[in-house]
Structure 1
């Protein structure tokens, strides 16, 4: 029930607004659209068994141009069966809403209206581009690791800059997995086979199933598996090759994991170094957090900085330094300096629910840019698009774009610059 009310409550109306009011000043170099997709659960038959992440998709977007917030729009992703939509990306000059579990993507127009279901990443085996498809900034390719409920296999799909599938690899597994995210380097694909999977069409934790980490060359070939202690993997920050090893920064949690109650686990940021002799697991930050992001220009390559969110999803107190130690939950974004092993925290305070924040580059340096994310303003009962300067992370927001509607908490999105 928690995931149908408060910060998670669905939105029932589509809204369009122009010339949005702004506190502060929008950087003139931010020209593009910030889009975020997520579940908007309406008409749930049994709230007690509702799984967060399910529900018809709704895309929320703000158009920025030359220091102005031209418009805000929220639109249902209109597909048959009200498919849950998880992410939104641009590829081959088109915009796509991406779904989970083998459901096909939907194409959106520039104003976020649904063009219709599409065949992005479609293969003869029936798979399509998955929810966490990843761009390679060096090649322009879109890489997907797709799974389908009821099938004991996943498929790695590479879609070229022109939108056509150029390479696939079918990876057999022992049962139907829940594989929400994966990792990609310049040369390798990294996946995990955990106890969270499908028993029929029910997604649940299977205690007897091992946890394995697999590394496969991007050109295809055998997967090298390493077994580790049971763990739930949430999301990947980034990954890169380091000699004969692969380094992955990711969010994990000790099992068992119940999809209907994500608040029962404590997600933390880890670094896995996967080599020929196994997996070295190191804790980077043990404070509860999720939705890690990187400057996408560094995707697949060595990175120094990462950004994550401490959100209401897990309901675990996150009290930044200097905040009142009264047990009240504080929403925050975290900037990790993975080279120095330090972190900065930008706290939003009581009642201001913040989700994933994405990086919008402003220059060639890795942290020269801005973090964009939707933050609920409890005083207005609506959302703000908050813009933080990455190099002044703990300072006041550069700008707050005041939206006319509430944006429910979760899930994923991207900054789509004009150039």
Structure 2
């Protein structure tokens, strides 16, 4: 899908604010906060990043829910200097890493009172306010030693934020721990060869898991599209770093060549002897195209790493092509049961998601909410009904494209019965293009 294609993948050109959105069904009273999702939305269609749907400047889309009402929908570009300049606005300036400045288009994370738009590759996050306006680049109060990452994990036990960052200029990847005060308290530089792309990582109670796989940075390709390439023959390995360990303490375990963009969760068992990881595994990606993440469709797998023997055992859990997996954030780093993932549409034309799948990884069962022909669904974000609610007692929120309206709905699914369909639909006045990741930001944080 190129930037020249229209339909669902075409960027939107206007920033809007709409109040008192119509709702079909009934919004749960416990949903009090903002659903935010980041994604690429090119300002123009003539730059290289716009040649594929997943490139372009970041735009945050948000819906505010409270007291059974959908109070507003907003969409706003992240104001990097380039975006602000092209919109004729005052430049915000601020800290930079290696002179890199971009409008982050990958994720949005709320932590320590700051709402951050995230991207990988050495750039800084950008902070946005409660109404999605850009505040500026954020370097964790001057404590961030370099760039940041597209994915981060808030440890539900300690409340700290973990991330693994990489950069084209570094001969290492960097594990970062941010304290609850919003300042980086720990960094570990782990030497790696060949500039591997580490889009995400996994965290357990005692370990950080690093995916050193055959997709590597190729900055020269950034002029024509995505700066990544599949490197045949490159060893594939899983790194096991003790949380409070040094780079020399990393154990590297051999795995079969593949690409992992998004793990679900990981946890230790058998007295710490083993680690189980649930993730989406691609046979390969970025193989042969300079402008798109071409490759095989991902499948949900379970990896069991035996930390005594140093071996990793794989098991495919489902035949469906899936991506964008999520779990209850309260269960991250420990044993859990349920995962939610987008069932990818074959070919990707007309949309990305054919449905949203709920997996029971303990029983090996699943159920699916399917969208109608011509529709689409994005990543599902789980929101518990209460802080102490059961693991699937809550709601799954996702954007869906509704072809009958030629616009987008925010659907609210009951997590205990995903296949039954939405208990509520918030009807947005516009189409939201396919994007990447988002989060729920409750009012009480």
Which of 249, 260, 272 aligns to 1:233? It is 260
Residue 382, structure 1, aligned to residue 415, structure 2: no
2:275 aligned partner: 246
Give the distance between the partners of 1:62 and 1:329, measured in 2 at CA: 21
RMSD: 2.1
1:284 to 317, 321, 324: 317
Distance 1:5 1:238, change over 3 A: farther
Count of residues paired in the alignment: 408
- Give the aligned partner of residue 87 of structure 2: none
- Output the CA distance in 1 between the equivalents of 2:160 and 2:220: 32
* Superposition pairs of residues 169-248 of structure 1, within 5 angstroms: 169-202=188-221, 203-221=228-246, 222-242=249-269, 243-248=272-277
Task: Say which SS state the counterpart of residue 7 (structure 1) adopts.
Answer: helix
Return the alpha-carbon distance in structure 2 between the equivalents of residues 152 and 41 of structure 1: 31
Q: Normalising by structure 2, what TM-score?
A: 0.87
Q: Tell me the CA shift for residue 174 of structure 1.
A: 0.6
Gapped runs of 5+ residues in structure 1? 318-327
| 1:101 lines up with 2:121 in the alignment | yes
Q: 1:410 to 1:124 in 2, by over 3 A?
A: closer
Q: 1:365 to 1:279 in 2, by over 3 A?
A: same
Residues 1:19 and 1:200: Cα distance change in structure 2 (over 3 Å): closer
Q: Could you report, residue by residue, the CA deviation over 1:103-139 in whole angstroms, capped at 9, with x for unpaired residues?
A: 11001010000001110386564233x1101111111
| Matching of residue 343 in structure 1 with residue 343 in structure 2 | no
Q: Distance in 2 between matches of 1:46 and 1:368?
A: 45
Deviation at 1:178, TM superposition (A): 1.1
Q: For residues 263 and 54 of structure 2, what CA distance do their matches in structure 1 show?
A: 17
State the alpha-carbon separation in 2 of the partners of residues 138 and 20 from structure 1: 37
| Shift of residue 200, structure 1, vs aligned partner | 4.0
Residues 255-302 of structure 1: CA deviation (Å, up to 9, x unaligned)? 253473445411110111112221111101121010000010101111
Give the 3-state SS of the residue equivalent to 2:8 in structure 1.
helix
Aligned to 2:62: 61
Indicate yes or no: 2:169 matched with 1:144.
Answer: no
Q: Does the aligned pair in 2 maintain the 1:36–1:88 contact within 8 Å? A: yes
Q: Which moved more, 1:144-153 or 1:97-106?
A: 144-153
- Aligned-partner Cα distance in 1 for 2:173–2:334: 24
CA shift, 1:94, in A, is: 1.5
**Which residue of the partner structure matches residue 324 of structure 1?**
none
Deviation at 1:48, TM superposition (A): 9.7
Q: Please, which of 356, 363, 366 is the counterpart of residue 379 of structure 2? A: 356
Distance 1:413 1:27 in 2: 20
- Distance in 2 separating the partners of 1:53 and 1:247: 31
Q: Is the alpha carbon distance of 1:357 and 1:314 closer, same or farther for their aligned partners in structure 2, counting shifts above 3 Å?
A: farther
Aligned to 2:180: 161
Contact 1:372-1:388 at 8 Å conserved across structures: yes
Alignment partner of 1:392 is 2:417: yes
CA contact (8 A) 2:382 2:395 kept: yes
Q: Normalization by structure 1: what TM-score?
A: 0.92
Higher strand share: 1
Alignment CA distance shift 1:122-1:284 (3 Å): farther
2:328 to 292, 295, 298: 295
SS in 2 for 1:392: helix
* Distance in 1 (alpha carbons) for counterparts of 2:205 and 2:418: 29
Unaligned runs of 5+ in 2: 83-101, 222-227
Superposition deviation, residue 416 in structure 1 = 0.9
Matched, 1:22 2:41: no
Secondary structure of 1:219 counterpart: coil
Which string of whole-angstrom CA distances, capped at 9 and with x for unpartnered residues, describes residues 358-384 of structure 1?
Answer: 001004200000000000111111110
Query: How far apart, in 1, do the equivalents of 2:152 and 2:62 lie?
Result: 20
8 A contact 2:61–2:76 mirrored in 1? yes
Report how far residue 2 of structure 1 moved: 3.6
